[in-house]
Amino acid sequence: MISKLVNIGTLEPVFICKVLIFITVKNMSQKLNSAFQVLIVLMLILSIFSGTATAAAGLKITLVDQTPYPAQPGEQIRFWIQAENIGDGTLNNVTVQVVSDGVFSASTSESTKTYDNIYAGSKVYHEYIMYVASDAPDGPRDLTVRYRANNTSNWIEQKFTVNIGGIVDTDNRGTLIIENVTSSPEVFMPGDEGIIWVTLKNNATNQTVSTSNSSTFMMNARVQSADMYSKDNIIVTSEAVNDLGIIAPGDNISIPFRVSIPEDTVDGTYLLTLNVTGSSYEYNIKRNVEIKVDSSGIKAIQSKAASSSTAGKTIEIDIVNYHQGTVRGVSIVPVAEGMSFYPTEYFIGEMKADDLYTAKFNITQGAGDSNVEFKAVYYNGDNYHEDSITLDIGPVVKQSSGIMTYLIYLIIILAIAAVVGHFYLKKKKGISLIDWLKIQKEAASEKWKSRKEAKKDKKSDSKNE
């Protein structure tokens, strides 16, 4: 019995109810323990709910876009809906459907989308075309989206708020334009977080404008709302901002949107969508905002062979910014076991794209193998990064002390002087250097003896007096 109950969640609810009644009656006829009956009934009821839950377990539905915004009575509207599998397993035969009601309506062919498979962690998108009733009142209305999966007939419903009409500010007729878009960092890396700044400007030049029928209108521009979203892997973490007020002619306003770049994002250019609701439907803005993702960073290249001297070894490396954007706080740190470096760290600071700097390091003491790791630490926007490369600089030997070096030089000089002196004496006086040294030694000895005797005689004379 238990083994049959494990898979009962995949059955239709009507069939489950029939089985429930049959088992209950059968158990009662067999006069089984009432507690066991209750257990069986609870397990069957639980299986009904689990069957409903597993119909779309792990499926997340998101309304990512609508055109136009806000919706207009009597006009067509397009909804861009995302289905994401946030579970661990694959979802099969997934159906997502927008439900027609008194406000929104769609044909059968336009209202339903079926996916054979949605794999774990993946997203799919579909555009649904609906029509807004001509007598639909202004204000927020519910759009009902339902979905199911894994060949079940149980629908799960979700509601999204859709604005119809909205504020129509006929007194302010300034025109909004996107004056500038910047980001920090200017080029993202996988795993980065940053801010995209959108600057909106009222392009009007006069404070008022007069029409042919002598009506006068203000040229201010109203910003009802601004929102940004992504249909790609990029994540926009900022919510929509509302009621931004009025922009005077020639003035502007900057709106920040926070974004996050997943670690598995591939290099390339991505488009985010910006929606701005102006004074009325005719003054809305919908534009693509471009951002770049580049995983390239800082590299160290050995520019010439390491040079050796009595003081140690010297190595020069070129530091190159391969990233498409500017990075800051760049610093190069050499690391090798058993070696000491001077300087211990080479600071560069800001590096623009393709900038090159040359760093020189002296290995002042120690002994180690030929591999040295050069770490490049830097910031892309406010995001910390670290790149490293290992270079083979050749074997490093321990530095000799200064005294020993001078002694070696002195011995070499004395040896050269002895050889030169030997040949000079041999040629000029016909004696060798050794014989000349003996003669000098004897002469010095005789001189020393004579001085000693003279001193002795002087002492004797002073006593006689």
Three-state SS sequence of the chain: CHHHHHCHHHCCHHHHHHHHHHHHHHHHHCCCCHHHHHHHHHHHHHHHHHHHHHCCCCEEEEEEEEECCCECCCCEEEEEEEEEECCCCCEEEEEEEECCCCCEECCHHHHEEEEEEECCCCEEEEEEEEEECCCCCCEEEEEEEEEECCCCCCCEEEEEEEEECCCCCCCECCCEEEEEEEEECCCECCCCEEEEEEEEEECCCCCEEECCCCCEEECCEEEEEEEEEECCCCEECCCCEEEEEEECCCCEEEEEEEEECCCCCCCEEEEEEEEEECCCHHHCEEEEEEEEECCCCEEEEECCCCEEECCEEEEEEEEEECCCCCEEEEEEEEECCCEEEECCCEEEEEECCCCEEEEEEEEEEECECCEEEEEEEEEECCEEEEEEEEEECCCECCCCCHHHHHHHHHHHHHHHHHHHHHHHHHHHCCCCHHHHHHHHHHHHHHHHHHHHHHHHHHHHHHHHC
Cβ atoms of residues 114 and 149 within 8 Å: no
What are the residue ranges in the chain where pLDDT is below 50? 1-15, 18, 25, 28-29, 31-32, 47-53, 55, 397-401
Q: Which CATH number fits domain 59-164: 2.60.40.10, 3.40.50.10420, 3.30.830.10, 3.90.228.20?
A: 2.60.40.10
Give the angle subtended at the CA of 15 by the CAs of 10 and 18, to the nearest 5°: 135
How far, in whole angstroms, is CA 105 from its chain's centroid? 42
Residue 26, pLDDT score: 54
At which residue do the structure tokens 């997203």 appear? Answer: 123
At which residue do the structure tokens 């609906």 appear? Answer: 130
Q: Cα separation of 256 and 228, whole Å?
A: 10
Q: Which residues contact 153 (CB under 8 A, 6 or more apart)?
A: 12
- Closest to 75 (Cα-Cα) out of 281, 279, 284, 283: 281
At which residue do the structure tokens 């471009």 appear? Answer: 290
Q: Centre a 10 Å sphere on the Cβ of residue 402 and count the other Cβ atoms it contains.
A: 10
How far are the Cα atoms of 103, 300, 315, 320, 343 from residue 360, in angstroms, in the given order?
A: 73, 12, 6, 14, 8
Cβ atoms of residues 252 and 201 within 8 Å: yes
Amino acid of residue 48 = I
The domain spans of the chain are 2-54, 59-164, 176-293, 298-392, 404-447
φ, ψ of residue 349 to 5 degrees: the values are: 100, -130
Name the pairing type of β-strands 356-366 and 312-321.
antiparallel
- Closest to 310 (Cα-Cα) out of 250, 388, 400, 423: 400
Residue 65, pLDDT score: 81
Residue 6, pLDDT score: 37
Residues paired with 71 in a beta bridge: 164
Assigned CATH class of 298-392? mainly beta
Q: Cα separation of 120 and 59, whole Å?
A: 9
Please classify residue 157 by burial: count the beta carbons closer than 10 Å to its beta carbon, then call 0-12 exposed, 13-18 middle and 19+ buried: exposed
Residues paired with 22 in a beta bridge: none
Q: Do domains 176-293 and 298-392 have the same CATH topology?
A: yes
Q: What is the pLDDT of residues 168-219, one digit of tens each?
A: 666 777 888 999 999 999 999 999 999 999 999 998 888 887 776 767 778 8
Q: Which CATH number fits domain 176-293: 3.90.1150.10, 3.40.50.800, 2.60.40.10, 1.20.1250.20?
A: 2.60.40.10
Q: Cα separation of 66 and 75, whole Å?
A: 13
Residue 254, pLDDT score: 95
- Closest to 186 (Cα-Cα) out of 416, 381, 436, 389: 381
